[in-house]
Amino acid sequence: MGKIKNKEKIDFFTGGLFLLFSTLILLLPSGFVFWDMQKIANQESELLQQRRLETSQVFSPSSVKFTYFTDAHCYGEPKEKSESVNLNWRCTKPIKEMLEQVKIFGPEFIFDGGDLVDGKDKRSVEDFLKLREIFSGTKIPFYQMVGNHETRSFLKEDWLKMTGNKKTYYYFDIREYRFIVLDGNFYQEYGEEKDTWPEKEFYPGLVSKTQQKWLRRLLAQSQNRTVIVFLHQPPIDGTFIKNQSMFLVNRKQLREIFSQYGVKAVFSGHIEELCFKNMEGVDYYLMAGFWKPNPGYSRRFKDEGFFYQIEITPEKDLKIQVFLNSNKEASYESFQFDKNILSCDNSGAEQVARIDRFLSPESFLELESNVDSEDTQEEVEEKGETD
């Protein structure tokens, strides 16, 4: 009888343990799920708190200085037979002289607005790396943007490897300033958004929907900052000289985003013009290329080399000093960018007539009446160079 009672106790104890372990096994997955959910919730809470902290962060007003250039269109010396990369003189000479001016100015960074290489030879990757080597020698932070001449030279994946960037669009902060870099090198085909590749040489440009979503989120977190946007293709509707076919397809949507979130200014290159336009409270600066002159000026410079020393004051005013090398044997001349003089609504001839007073008359060649003939002549000169 005693043995039976002991057996019942053992069975009861064993059954209890079994029930306990079974319950634990059933509860463990839900426990892990709860722990994962709690972890995710904590991470989201920390991220939200970080965003609130960032948007509520108070900055002491400061100034920032940077050097901007665009559309250098550099290429390798075609007569070079060796394996080493020897860049063409029209690229190296102005760049070296620009970097001498940069030392004097003392910017916090140098920005390449795209089309650093021309893409006319098979050594564009080598040319690009050689140019990066030149700029790395300055020890000044060097930021770059993809232009349409980069996309016809090599894949974007190659650009990312060479620059060390994770994406072709990104941002960086300097105190209260936020600089946003966008990639306008997409296009539409039968209503479908597509990325570019070297065989796709000509397209007006498009900022992808993915970027637009990213841009909205980023700008929503940037309300306490002064925001500057860099975009190779200008997002305006046209100038006195160029029509809409030269500008971004979705420029209207971008301008709405810029205006909604109070972007201070947008800098672009691509169309080889130097002019200014304010739209919906945002300043748009179109910057002449490092090599090609503004075709609307109706004047030819002996040796171009446009670049810009830009300062944003503590009061958030933009001061832009325009540098150009108008004579192959002379050093750079400069003048202050004037919004009224360099309006995109003015003809190139009007702009030149007004900026003549900033530069010595001998800086210019004779007035040429036909802009198209200038481009043709330039092509002939370049072809003669490469023969």
Q: Which residues contact 11 (CB under 8 A, 6 or more apart)?
A: none
Residue 79 belongs to what domain range? 64-386
Whether 85 and 168 map to the same domain: the answer is: yes
107: pLDDT confidence band, cut at 50, 70 and 90?
very high
Whether 73 and 48 map to the same domain: the answer is: no
Instruction: Tell me the mean pLDDT in the region 172-176.
Output: 98
**pTM: predicted TM-score of the whole model, two decimal places:** 0.76
Tally of domains in the chain: 2
CB 348 within 8 A of CB 241: yes
CATH number at residue 223: 3.60.21.10
Give the model's pLDDT for residue 33. Answer: 38
Task: Flag whether 253 is in a domain.
Answer: yes
Quote the radius of gyration of the chain (alpha carbons, Å). 29
Task: Flag whether 380 is in a domain.
Answer: yes
Whether 183 and 48 map to the same domain: the answer is: no
Chain segment 178-191, per-residue pLDDT in tens: 999 999 988 777 87
End-of-domain residue from the set 32, 52, 72: 52
Whether 310 and 335 map to the same domain: the answer is: yes
Whether 322 and 212 map to the same domain: the answer is: yes
Q: Phi-psi region for residue 358, left (φ > 0), alpha (ψ -120 to 50) or beta?
A: alpha
Give the model's pLDDT for residue 187. Answer: 77
Task: Flag whether 124 is in a domain.
Answer: yes
Higher pLDDT, 26 or 298: 26
